[in-house]
Amino acid sequence: MKPIRVANWMTESVLAVETFDSINIARQLMAKHRVNQLPVLDNERLVGIVTDRDLRDAYPTSMMIDRGEEIDRFADSVTVEEVMSHDVFTVHPDTPLAKAVGLLRRHRIGSLPVMQNKKLVGIITRSDILEFVLSGSGLKVPVRKTASKKKTQSSRKRTVRKSS
pLDDT digits (tens, 9 = 90+) for 145-158: 444 333 333 333 33
Instruction: Give the range with max mean pLDDT: 28-37, 56-65, 133-142.
Output: 28-37
Going by C-alpha positions, the residue among 128, 122, 116, 90 that lies closest to residue 12 is 122
Tell me how far apart the alpha carbons of residues 111 and 37 are, in angstroms, rounded to a whole number.
7
Helix or strand or coil: residue 63?
helix
Tell me how far apart the alpha carbons of residues 157 and 89 are, in angstroms, rounded to a whole number.
37
CATH code at 6-135: 3.10.580.10
Position 10 scores a pLDDT of 93
Confidence of residue 144 (pLDDT cuts 50, 70, 90): very low
Tell me how long the chain is.
164
The model's pLDDT over 91-142, given as tens digits with 9 standing for 90+, comes to 999 999 999 999 999 999 999 999 999 999 999 999 999 888 888 876 443 3
Position 155 scores a pLDDT of 34
Give the residue-averaged pLDDT of 60-82. 69
Extents of the domains making up the chain: 6-135
Note whether 103 and 124 are within 8 A (CB).
no
